[in-house]
Structure 1
Protein backbone atom coordinates (compact mmCIF):
# COMPACT_ATOMS: atom_id res chain seq x y z
CA UNK A 1 0.00 0.00 0.00
CA UNK A 2 1.34 3.45 -0.95
CA UNK A 3 2.34 5.91 1.74
CA UNK A 4 -0.35 8.49 2.58
CA UNK A 5 0.14 11.94 1.09
CA UNK A 6 -1.52 13.40 4.18
CA UNK A 7 -1.79 11.78 7.59
CA UNK A 8 -3.25 13.43 10.68
CA UNK A 9 -3.01 11.41 13.88
CA UNK A 10 -4.85 12.46 17.02
CA UNK A 11 -4.81 16.15 16.19
CA UNK A 12 -6.09 18.51 18.88
CA UNK A 13 -6.58 22.26 18.75
CA UNK A 14 -7.74 24.46 21.61
CA UNK A 15 -8.32 28.19 21.37
CA UNK A 16 -8.07 30.41 24.48
CA UNK A 17 -6.60 27.51 26.43
CA UNK A 18 -7.05 27.99 30.16
CA UNK A 19 -8.99 31.22 29.68
CA UNK A 20 -12.67 32.15 29.74
CA UNK A 21 -14.21 31.10 26.46
CA UNK A 22 -11.84 28.16 25.89
CA UNK A 23 -12.90 26.26 22.77
CA UNK A 24 -11.74 22.73 22.03
CA UNK A 25 -12.09 22.74 18.24
CA UNK A 26 -10.35 19.46 17.38
CA UNK A 27 -10.35 16.47 19.74
CA UNK A 28 -8.12 13.75 18.38
CA UNK A 29 -8.99 14.12 14.70
CA UNK A 30 -7.29 11.51 12.49
CA UNK A 31 -7.35 10.83 8.76
CA UNK A 32 -5.16 9.60 5.91
CA UNK A 33 -5.29 10.43 2.20
CA UNK A 34 -3.76 8.20 -0.46
CA UNK A 35 -2.30 9.44 -3.76
CA UNK A 36 -5.04 10.04 -6.32
CA UNK A 37 -7.80 10.06 -3.70
CA UNK A 38 -10.46 12.78 -3.57
CA UNK A 39 -12.03 13.04 -0.12
CA UNK A 40 -14.88 15.29 1.02
CA UNK A 41 -14.81 16.85 4.47
CA UNK A 42 -18.27 17.69 5.80
CA UNK A 43 -18.91 19.57 9.05
CA UNK A 44 -21.48 21.99 10.43
CA UNK A 45 -20.64 25.69 10.40
CA UNK A 46 -18.10 26.35 13.13
CA UNK A 47 -17.36 22.62 13.33
CA UNK A 48 -13.61 22.97 12.83
CA UNK A 49 -13.13 22.10 9.17
CA UNK A 50 -11.23 25.29 8.35
CA UNK A 51 -9.01 24.75 11.38
CA UNK A 52 -8.33 21.19 10.29
CA UNK A 53 -7.46 22.35 6.76
CA UNK A 54 -5.12 25.01 8.12
CA UNK A 55 -3.31 22.44 10.24
CA UNK A 56 -3.15 19.98 7.34
CA UNK A 57 -1.71 22.72 5.13
CA UNK A 58 0.86 23.83 7.73
CA UNK A 59 -0.76 27.24 8.17
CA UNK A 60 -1.41 26.42 11.82
CA UNK A 61 0.04 24.02 14.37
CA UNK A 62 -1.81 21.44 16.50
CA UNK A 63 -1.72 21.47 20.28
CA UNK A 64 -1.32 17.68 20.20
CA UNK A 65 -1.09 14.94 17.59
CA UNK A 66 1.04 14.47 14.49
CA UNK A 67 0.96 15.88 10.95
CA UNK A 68 2.74 14.08 8.11
CA UNK A 69 2.89 15.20 4.50
CA UNK A 70 4.32 12.86 1.87
CA UNK A 71 6.06 10.89 4.62
CA UNK A 72 7.66 13.89 6.33
CA UNK A 73 6.64 14.49 9.94
CA UNK A 74 5.94 18.22 10.04
CA UNK A 75 4.59 18.43 13.61
CA UNK A 76 7.70 19.99 15.13
CA UNK A 77 9.30 21.26 11.93
CA UNK A 78 10.88 24.71 11.79
CA UNK A 79 9.06 27.62 10.17
CA UNK A 80 11.49 27.44 7.25
CA UNK A 81 10.84 23.74 6.69
CA UNK A 82 7.08 24.25 6.95
CA UNK A 83 7.21 27.09 4.43
CA UNK A 84 9.25 24.99 1.99
CA UNK A 85 6.92 21.98 2.18
CA UNK A 86 3.84 24.19 1.96
CA UNK A 87 5.24 25.90 -1.14
CA UNK A 88 6.42 22.73 -2.87
CA UNK A 89 3.90 20.07 -1.87
CA UNK A 90 0.61 21.76 -0.94
CA UNK A 91 -1.91 23.64 -3.07
CA UNK A 92 -4.77 25.70 -1.60
CA UNK A 93 -8.16 26.68 -3.03
CA UNK A 94 -10.60 28.85 -1.10
CA UNK A 95 -14.26 29.84 -1.48
CA UNK A 96 -13.10 33.23 -2.73
CA UNK A 97 -10.40 33.13 -5.38
CA UNK A 98 -7.96 35.60 -3.71
CA UNK A 99 -6.27 36.30 -7.04
CA UNK A 100 -3.91 39.28 -7.13
CA UNK A 101 -6.04 41.99 -8.77
CA UNK A 102 -3.21 43.91 -10.41
CA UNK A 103 -1.93 40.86 -12.33
CA UNK A 104 -3.40 38.97 -15.26
CA UNK A 105 -4.76 35.44 -15.05
CA UNK A 106 -1.54 34.07 -16.50
CA UNK A 107 0.64 36.16 -14.20
CA UNK A 108 -1.31 34.87 -11.18
CA UNK A 109 -0.34 31.32 -12.19
CA UNK A 110 3.25 32.25 -13.09
CA UNK A 111 4.13 34.07 -9.87
CA UNK A 112 4.02 31.06 -7.48
CA UNK A 113 6.35 29.21 -9.81
CA UNK A 114 8.84 32.08 -9.87
CA UNK A 115 8.78 32.19 -6.06
CA UNK A 116 9.53 28.46 -6.10
CA UNK A 117 12.58 28.94 -8.31
CA UNK A 118 11.24 28.24 -11.81
CA UNK A 119 12.51 30.22 -14.79
CA UNK A 120 10.16 32.62 -16.55
CA UNK A 121 9.92 30.56 -19.73
CA UNK A 122 9.13 27.36 -17.85
CA UNK A 123 6.62 29.13 -15.60
CA UNK A 124 4.79 30.75 -18.51
CA UNK A 125 4.62 27.49 -20.43
CA UNK A 126 3.13 25.63 -17.46
CA UNK A 127 0.76 28.50 -16.74
CA UNK A 128 -0.48 28.54 -20.32
CA UNK A 129 -0.91 24.76 -20.27
CA UNK A 130 -2.98 24.84 -17.09
CA UNK A 131 -5.17 27.71 -18.29
CA UNK A 132 -5.73 25.89 -21.57
CA UNK A 133 -6.70 22.77 -19.64
CA UNK A 134 -9.44 24.57 -17.71
CA UNK A 135 -10.71 26.52 -20.72
CA UNK A 136 -9.52 29.96 -19.67
CA UNK A 137 -6.57 30.36 -22.06
CA UNK A 138 -8.39 32.97 -24.20
CA UNK A 139 -8.68 35.12 -21.05
CA UNK A 140 -5.05 34.69 -19.97
CA UNK A 141 -4.25 38.38 -20.38
CA UNK A 142 -7.27 39.60 -18.43
CA UNK A 143 -7.16 40.74 -14.82
CA UNK A 144 -9.44 39.07 -12.26
CA UNK A 145 -12.01 41.92 -12.32
CA UNK A 146 -12.50 41.24 -16.02
CA UNK A 147 -13.28 37.54 -15.47
CA UNK A 148 -16.52 35.85 -14.44
CA UNK A 149 -16.75 34.12 -11.05
CA UNK A 150 -16.30 30.72 -12.62
CA UNK A 151 -13.31 31.89 -14.64
CA UNK A 152 -11.72 33.42 -11.55
CA UNK A 153 -12.09 30.18 -9.60
CA UNK A 154 -10.65 28.11 -12.45
CA UNK A 155 -7.63 30.42 -12.52
CA UNK A 156 -7.35 29.87 -8.75
CA UNK A 157 -7.28 26.11 -9.43
CA UNK A 158 -4.43 26.61 -11.87
CA UNK A 159 -2.54 28.72 -9.34
CA UNK A 160 -2.98 25.99 -6.70
CA UNK A 161 -1.55 23.42 -9.12
CA UNK A 162 1.20 25.66 -10.48
CA UNK A 163 4.00 24.00 -8.50
CA UNK A 164 2.72 20.44 -9.06
CA UNK A 165 1.83 19.80 -5.39
CA UNK A 166 1.28 16.38 -3.87
CA UNK A 167 -1.68 17.57 -1.77
CA UNK A 168 -4.60 19.83 -2.65
CA UNK A 169 -6.69 21.41 0.13
CA UNK A 170 -9.92 23.16 -0.82
CA UNK A 171 -12.29 25.05 1.47
CA UNK A 172 -15.76 25.39 -0.11
CA UNK A 173 -14.24 25.85 -3.60
CA UNK A 174 -17.66 26.19 -5.28
CA UNK A 175 -19.51 27.81 -2.38
CA UNK A 176 -19.53 31.28 -3.93
CA UNK A 177 -20.87 30.19 -7.32
CA UNK A 178 -24.33 29.69 -8.78
CA UNK A 179 -25.41 26.03 -9.25
CA UNK A 180 -24.63 25.80 -12.96
CA UNK A 181 -21.21 27.41 -12.62
CA UNK A 182 -20.55 25.33 -9.51
CA UNK A 183 -21.14 22.13 -11.47
CA UNK A 184 -18.77 23.21 -14.25
CA UNK A 185 -16.05 24.27 -11.82
CA UNK A 186 -16.40 21.08 -9.75
CA UNK A 187 -16.10 18.91 -12.86
CA UNK A 188 -12.97 20.82 -13.85
CA UNK A 189 -11.48 20.34 -10.39
CA UNK A 190 -12.18 16.60 -10.41
CA UNK A 191 -10.63 16.22 -13.88
CA UNK A 192 -7.49 18.05 -12.80
CA UNK A 193 -7.12 15.95 -9.65
CA UNK A 194 -7.62 12.68 -11.55
CA UNK A 195 -5.10 13.66 -14.21
CA UNK A 196 -2.38 14.76 -11.80
CA UNK A 197 -2.82 11.94 -9.27
CA UNK A 198 -2.50 14.18 -6.26
CA UNK A 199 -4.50 13.70 -3.07
CA UNK A 200 -7.31 16.17 -2.43
CA UNK A 201 -9.24 17.04 0.73
CA UNK A 202 -12.26 19.18 -0.14
CA UNK A 203 -14.40 20.81 2.54
CA UNK A 204 -17.94 21.38 1.36
CA UNK A 205 -21.48 21.91 2.57
CA UNK A 206 -22.79 20.52 -0.71
CA UNK A 207 -23.70 16.91 0.12
CA UNK A 208 -24.48 16.12 -3.52
CA UNK A 209 -20.97 17.06 -4.58
CA UNK A 210 -19.50 15.30 -1.55
CA UNK A 211 -21.22 12.05 -2.52
CA UNK A 212 -19.43 12.11 -5.88
CA UNK A 213 -16.00 11.98 -4.27
CA UNK A 214 -14.17 8.82 -3.24
CA UNK A 215 -14.99 9.15 0.46
CA UNK A 216 -16.92 11.44 2.76
CA UNK A 217 -15.37 12.25 6.14
CA UNK A 218 -17.64 13.80 8.75
CA UNK A 219 -16.14 16.07 11.36
CA UNK A 220 -18.24 16.30 14.50
CA UNK A 221 -17.42 17.22 18.09
CA UNK A 222 -13.85 17.79 17.04
CA UNK A 223 -13.21 14.30 15.66
CA UNK A 224 -13.66 12.39 12.43
CA UNK A 225 -16.73 10.48 13.53
CA UNK A 226 -17.61 8.55 10.39
CA UNK A 227 -16.38 7.82 6.91
CA UNK A 228 -18.55 6.63 4.06
CA UNK A 229 -17.58 5.47 0.61
CA UNK A 230 -18.39 7.62 -2.35
CA UNK A 231 -19.01 6.25 -5.83
CA UNK A 232 -16.67 3.67 -7.26
CA UNK A 233 -14.08 5.40 -9.39
CA UNK A 234 -13.14 2.42 -11.50
Structure 2
Protein backbone atom coordinates (compact mmCIF):
# COMPACT_ATOMS: atom_id res chain seq x y z
CA UNK A 1 0.00 0.00 0.00
CA UNK A 2 1.31 3.42 -0.95
CA UNK A 3 1.57 5.52 2.22
CA UNK A 4 2.73 8.72 0.49
CA UNK A 5 0.19 11.41 1.37
CA UNK A 6 1.91 14.33 -0.36
CA UNK A 7 4.17 14.20 -3.40
CA UNK A 8 5.72 17.30 -4.96
CA UNK A 9 7.76 16.84 -8.10
CA UNK A 10 9.82 19.50 -9.86
CA UNK A 11 7.92 22.52 -8.55
CA UNK A 12 8.98 25.91 -9.86
CA UNK A 13 7.47 29.27 -9.00
CA UNK A 14 8.49 32.72 -10.19
CA UNK A 15 6.94 36.03 -9.18
CA UNK A 16 6.94 39.15 -11.38
CA UNK A 17 7.96 37.06 -14.37
CA UNK A 18 9.58 38.97 -17.20
CA UNK A 19 10.24 42.08 -15.10
CA UNK A 20 13.47 43.49 -13.66
CA UNK A 21 12.24 42.46 -10.21
CA UNK A 22 11.61 38.82 -11.18
CA UNK A 23 12.11 36.41 -8.27
CA UNK A 24 12.31 32.65 -8.76
CA UNK A 25 11.26 31.23 -5.40
CA UNK A 26 11.14 27.52 -6.28
CA UNK A 27 13.55 25.90 -8.75
CA UNK A 28 12.45 22.27 -9.01
CA UNK A 29 11.43 21.37 -5.46
CA UNK A 30 10.73 17.68 -4.75
CA UNK A 31 9.19 16.18 -1.63
CA UNK A 32 7.46 13.02 -0.42
CA UNK A 33 5.55 13.07 2.85
CA UNK A 34 4.38 9.77 4.35
CA UNK A 35 1.49 8.90 6.63
CA UNK A 36 2.27 9.49 10.31
CA UNK A 37 5.40 11.50 9.54
CA UNK A 38 6.17 14.94 10.98
CA UNK A 39 8.67 16.86 8.84
CA UNK A 40 10.23 20.20 9.75
CA UNK A 41 10.75 22.73 6.96
CA UNK A 42 13.48 25.26 7.72
CA UNK A 43 14.79 28.13 5.62
CA UNK A 44 15.91 31.74 5.90
CA UNK A 45 13.21 34.41 5.87
CA UNK A 46 12.01 35.09 2.36
CA UNK A 47 13.28 31.78 0.98
CA UNK A 48 9.80 30.62 -0.03
CA UNK A 49 8.50 28.46 2.83
CA UNK A 50 5.04 30.02 2.74
CA UNK A 51 4.91 29.72 -1.06
CA UNK A 52 5.76 26.03 -0.84
CA UNK A 53 3.10 25.44 1.81
CA UNK A 54 0.47 27.34 -0.19
CA UNK A 55 1.21 25.26 -3.28
CA UNK A 56 1.19 22.04 -1.25
CA UNK A 57 -2.20 23.03 0.19
CA UNK A 58 -3.68 24.01 -3.18
CA UNK A 59 -3.93 27.69 -2.27
CA UNK A 60 -1.47 28.55 -5.05
CA UNK A 61 -0.29 26.89 -8.24
CA UNK A 62 3.24 26.17 -9.49
CA UNK A 63 4.50 27.39 -12.84
CA UNK A 64 5.89 23.92 -13.55
CA UNK A 65 5.74 20.61 -11.69
CA UNK A 66 3.23 18.08 -10.41
CA UNK A 67 1.40 17.65 -7.13
CA UNK A 68 -0.35 14.62 -5.64
CA UNK A 69 -2.41 14.61 -2.44
CA UNK A 70 -3.46 11.28 -0.94
CA UNK A 71 -2.73 9.58 -4.26
CA UNK A 72 -4.83 12.00 -6.32
CA UNK A 73 -3.19 14.10 -9.00
CA UNK A 74 -4.08 17.71 -8.19
CA UNK A 75 -1.97 19.25 -10.96
CA UNK A 76 -3.86 21.72 -13.10
CA UNK A 77 -7.25 20.99 -11.55
CA UNK A 78 -10.01 23.61 -11.54
CA UNK A 79 -10.94 25.66 -8.50
CA UNK A 80 -13.89 23.46 -7.55
CA UNK A 81 -11.84 20.25 -7.55
CA UNK A 82 -8.95 21.92 -5.70
CA UNK A 83 -11.32 23.21 -3.04
CA UNK A 84 -12.89 19.78 -2.60
CA UNK A 85 -9.47 18.12 -2.18
CA UNK A 86 -8.33 20.82 0.22
CA UNK A 87 -11.45 20.53 2.38
CA UNK A 88 -11.20 16.76 2.54
CA UNK A 89 -7.48 16.14 2.88
CA UNK A 90 -5.64 19.25 4.10
CA UNK A 91 -5.60 21.15 7.41
CA UNK A 92 -3.81 24.49 7.90
CA UNK A 93 -2.28 26.15 10.95
CA UNK A 94 -0.71 29.60 10.80
CA UNK A 95 1.48 31.66 13.11
CA UNK A 96 -1.60 33.59 14.25
CA UNK A 97 -4.64 31.56 15.21
CA UNK A 98 -7.28 33.36 13.04
CA UNK A 99 -10.09 32.03 15.24
CA UNK A 100 -13.52 33.60 14.73
CA UNK A 101 -13.80 36.02 17.68
CA UNK A 102 -17.59 35.83 18.07
CA UNK A 103 -17.62 32.06 18.54
CA UNK A 104 -16.45 29.89 21.44
CA UNK A 105 -13.52 27.49 21.18
CA UNK A 106 -15.98 24.62 20.79
CA UNK A 107 -17.87 26.41 18.04
CA UNK A 108 -14.66 27.32 16.19
CA UNK A 109 -13.74 23.63 16.01
CA UNK A 110 -17.27 22.49 15.16
CA UNK A 111 -17.88 25.00 12.35
CA UNK A 112 -15.62 23.37 9.70
CA UNK A 113 -17.44 20.10 10.30
CA UNK A 114 -20.86 21.71 9.99
CA UNK A 115 -19.73 23.24 6.69
CA UNK A 116 -18.94 19.69 5.52
CA UNK A 117 -22.40 18.44 6.42
CA UNK A 118 -21.68 16.84 9.80
CA UNK A 119 -24.61 16.87 12.21
CA UNK A 120 -24.32 19.43 15.02
CA UNK A 121 -24.20 16.91 17.87
CA UNK A 122 -21.51 14.84 16.16
CA UNK A 123 -19.52 17.96 15.28
CA UNK A 124 -19.56 19.16 18.89
CA UNK A 125 -18.57 15.72 20.18
CA UNK A 126 -15.62 15.63 17.79
CA UNK A 127 -14.66 19.18 18.77
CA UNK A 128 -14.74 18.37 22.47
CA UNK A 129 -12.66 15.25 21.94
CA UNK A 130 -9.96 17.25 20.14
CA UNK A 131 -9.99 20.02 22.72
CA UNK A 132 -9.61 17.40 25.44
CA UNK A 133 -6.56 15.91 23.73
CA UNK A 134 -4.73 19.23 23.89
CA UNK A 135 -5.82 20.07 27.43
CA UNK A 136 -8.27 22.92 26.83
CA UNK A 137 -11.61 21.15 27.24
CA UNK A 138 -12.42 23.25 30.30
CA UNK A 139 -12.10 26.36 28.11
CA UNK A 140 -14.44 25.07 25.40
CA UNK A 141 -17.17 27.63 26.07
CA UNK A 142 -14.79 30.60 26.13
CA UNK A 143 -14.29 32.94 23.19
CA UNK A 144 -10.78 33.52 21.78
CA UNK A 145 -10.34 36.85 23.59
CA UNK A 146 -10.77 35.00 26.88
CA UNK A 147 -8.02 32.49 26.09
CA UNK A 148 -4.25 32.79 26.44
CA UNK A 149 -2.08 32.79 23.33
CA UNK A 150 -1.13 29.17 23.87
CA UNK A 151 -4.74 28.15 24.37
CA UNK A 152 -5.79 30.00 21.22
CA UNK A 153 -3.19 28.17 19.16
CA UNK A 154 -4.21 24.79 20.57
CA UNK A 155 -7.78 25.52 19.53
CA UNK A 156 -6.46 26.44 16.07
CA UNK A 157 -4.75 23.03 15.86
CA UNK A 158 -8.03 21.34 16.74
CA UNK A 159 -9.88 23.34 14.11
CA UNK A 160 -7.32 22.32 11.47
CA UNK A 161 -7.88 18.65 12.34
CA UNK A 162 -11.66 18.85 12.78
CA UNK A 163 -12.45 17.22 9.42
CA UNK A 164 -9.81 14.46 9.84
CA UNK A 165 -7.45 15.60 7.05
CA UNK A 166 -4.67 13.39 5.74
CA UNK A 167 -2.12 16.24 5.79
CA UNK A 168 -1.42 19.09 8.19
CA UNK A 169 0.47 22.12 6.89
CA UNK A 170 1.71 24.55 9.54
CA UNK A 171 3.49 27.87 8.96
CA UNK A 172 5.47 28.93 12.06
CA UNK A 173 2.71 27.63 14.38
CA UNK A 174 4.56 28.63 17.56
CA UNK A 175 6.29 31.72 16.16
CA UNK A 176 4.33 34.27 18.21
CA UNK A 177 4.59 32.43 21.55
CA UNK A 178 7.15 32.71 24.34
CA UNK A 179 9.63 29.79 24.62
CA UNK A 180 7.86 28.01 27.48
CA UNK A 181 4.44 28.23 25.89
CA UNK A 182 5.93 27.31 22.52
CA UNK A 183 7.23 24.02 23.95
CA UNK A 184 3.86 23.18 25.50
CA UNK A 185 1.92 24.01 22.34
CA UNK A 186 4.37 22.08 20.17
CA UNK A 187 4.01 19.03 22.40
CA UNK A 188 0.22 19.28 22.01
CA UNK A 189 0.60 19.47 18.23
CA UNK A 190 2.90 16.45 18.07
CA UNK A 191 0.52 14.50 20.26
CA UNK A 192 -2.33 15.24 17.86
CA UNK A 193 -0.22 14.26 14.86
CA UNK A 194 0.83 10.93 16.36
CA UNK A 195 -2.62 10.12 17.76
CA UNK A 196 -4.35 10.70 14.43
CA UNK A 197 -1.66 9.25 12.13
CA UNK A 198 -1.78 12.14 9.70
CA UNK A 199 1.25 13.66 7.96
CA UNK A 200 2.58 17.06 9.01
CA UNK A 201 4.82 19.53 7.20
CA UNK A 202 5.75 22.25 9.67
CA UNK A 203 7.71 25.37 8.76
CA UNK A 204 9.67 26.71 11.71
CA UNK A 205 12.64 28.89 12.59
CA UNK A 206 13.01 27.04 15.89
CA UNK A 207 15.77 24.50 15.31
CA UNK A 208 15.21 22.86 18.71
CA UNK A 209 11.59 22.10 17.78
CA UNK A 210 12.64 21.01 14.28
CA UNK A 211 15.07 18.48 15.76
CA UNK A 212 12.18 16.80 17.62
CA UNK A 213 10.40 15.89 14.39
CA UNK A 214 10.96 12.78 12.29
CA UNK A 215 13.21 14.58 9.83
CA UNK A 216 14.27 18.07 8.82
CA UNK A 217 14.42 19.45 5.29
CA UNK A 218 15.86 22.78 4.20
CA UNK A 219 14.59 25.07 1.46
CA UNK A 220 17.60 26.76 -0.05
CA UNK A 221 18.10 28.21 -3.50
CA UNK A 222 14.60 27.11 -4.45
CA UNK A 223 15.40 23.44 -3.79
CA UNK A 224 14.54 21.07 -0.93
CA UNK A 225 17.41 19.17 0.68
CA UNK A 226 17.89 17.15 3.87
CA UNK A 227 19.20 19.40 6.62
CA UNK A 228 22.79 18.74 7.64
Alignment match, 2:74: 74
Distance 1:53 1:39 in 2: 12
Distance 1:122 1:161 in 2: 15
Distance 2:83 2:47 in 1: 27
Alignment match, 1:188: 188
Alignment match, 1:197: 197
Question: TM-score, normalised on structure 1?
Answer: 0.96
Alignment match, 2:179: 179
Alignment match, 2:52: 52
CA shift digits 1:50-94 (9 cap, x unpaired) = 000000000000000001100011011111110011111100000
Alignment match, 2:114: 114
Tell me, what secondary structure is at the counterpart of 1:142? coil
Alignment match, 1:131: 131
Q: Please give the root-mean-square deviation of Cα atoms over the aligned residues, in Å.
A: 0.9
1:64 aligns with 2:68: no
Tell me, what secondary structure is at the counterpart of 2:129? helix
Q: CA deviation at 1:227?
A: 4.3
Q: Which runs of 4+ in 1 moved over 6 A?
A: none
Q: CA deviation at 1:101?
A: 0.6
The runs of 5 or more residues in structure 2 that have no matched partner are none
The runs of 5 or more residues in structure 1 that have no matched partner are 229-234
Distance 2:111 2:46 in 1: 33
Question: TM-score, normalised on structure 2?
Answer: 0.98
